[in-house]
Amino acid sequence: MGDIKNKVLVLLLWYLLVPCIMHAQLDFGNTPLPSRLGGQENWQLQEELSDDFNYTFQSTSNDMNFGNNTDESKKWKNFYHNNWTGPGPTIWQKQNVSVSDGYLNIWASRNPGEMKTFFHNGQRFTKKATRAGCVTSLKKVKYPVFVETRIRVMNSVMASNTWLLSPTVHGQKDDQEIDIIECYGGAGADNRNVFFANKIHLSHHAFRKGLSSVLDYQPSDRNSWWTKNGVNQWGGKWVRVGVYWQSATRVEYYIDGELARIVDDKAIETRIDNHRIYTYPDPDYTFGSGANGQIITHDPSSNSNEVGYQRMLTARNLEEAKSKSQRSVIDPLNYMKTEGKWTKELEIIINIEDQSWLAAMDITPTDEELSNFQDNNLLVDWIRVYKPVNLNGD
């Protein structure tokens, strides 16, 4: 009997300790959570969605799930979440994904003579196709949740991305998106992308998808293109970016642990260097007969520095901006049909893209630029997902 009791005790201790052991195995470099979010004890790590990429996954052209060396810990698939091959000249390829040396690798390549035709603003383009990697999480997240990743931005005119997107299930469209990081970090050999290279786009999308058309709203205010004093380009730099998706109408963006931007229902707060700006849409310039019913930007005749940006008004604080605002900044055109709210579970997607709007301006990688593998390989050190813990102990 004594031996049996001892074995039972050992088994009980093992089952109690397994979660702690698994937690310890995930290596985020002892990086603390942003101080604004409080201590680690206020959050519970979602291990099934978090990954430190301390294992090996070989590149393959086959559909493959990966996430560790056991079936129970698979976390990703090596493609997009449906059969779409990507925007603009992009053709997502399963074989452009691997895990080695503690990093997720997602890279771009090009096959001689391979072309792709795409449309942008009603105009038809045919460009050299750019093969690119993409991974999608096998499980989904929903608010309240904090998702953070540490990546080395590509030194490329292509987009280095981590984002959240609603899946296509039961006939529903993938119409709700929250971007964690979208960054075109390289200026290009001829500086053709120098304007965007020092910016991180902190944004989201609300889509209305029909059989033959897609309407797409995203915030287009100047402050959504976030810059940091002293950073001339993000390409080649390591950066830690996270979002706290707090509610159906609020998202907080964090860069290297510091609050950078809040999108809250009808207004926005952005930290620019050491000061904060509180803005809301100008009702006199925001809506009208723009292309595809899109947001009308600032009158170019009044201030040439604001051409292409949505005109915003300022307030003394976020609450005042919300009280003065007449429109949602989540989905002002009600494309999602949810009255300006995020309502769905979202998948995590990490990928690179040769995007249509830049390719239409010939801001697409050249063959010579793509020959530099390191510049066109997105490195992901880790990604971690936390849910808040009720302070009363629930």
Token pair 């429109």 is found at 327
Residue type (1 letter), 276: R
Q: Which of 168, 149, 158 is CA-nearest to residue 87?
A: 158
Selected catalytic residue, list 48, 72, 148, 182: 182
DSSP 8-state assignment for residue 7:
H
Is 182 an annotated catalytic residue? yes
3-class secondary structure, 58: coil
Is 177 an annotated catalytic residue? yes
Q: Which of 350, 360, 359, 377 is CA-nearest to residue 80?
A: 350
> Measured between alpha carbons, how far is 144 from 133 in angstroms, rounded to an integer?
29
User: Structure tokens of 194?
Assistant: 């120098």
HEC string for the chain: CHHHHHHHHHHHHHHHHHHHHHHHHCCCCCCCCCHHHCCHHHEEECCCCCECCCCCECCCCCCCEECCCCHHHCCEECCCCCCCCCCCCEEECHHHEEEECCEEEEEEECCCCCEEEEEECCEEEEEECEEECEEEEEEEECCCEEEEEEEECCCCCCEEEEEEECCCCCCCCCCEEEEEEEECCCCCCCCCCHHHHCCEECCEEEEEECCCCEEEECCCCHHHEECCCCCCCCCCCEEEEEEEEEECCEEEEEECCEEEEEEECCEEEEEECCEEEEEEECHHHHCCCCHHHCCCCCCCCCCHHHCCCCCEEEECCHHHHHHHCCCCCCCCCCCCCCCCCCCCCEEEEEEEECCHHHHCCCCCCCHHHHCCCHHHEEEEEEEEEEEECCCCCC
Selected catalytic residue, list 47, 48, 72, 177: 177
For residues 327 and 287, the answer to whether their CB atoms sit within 8 Å is: yes
Cite the active site residues.
177, 182
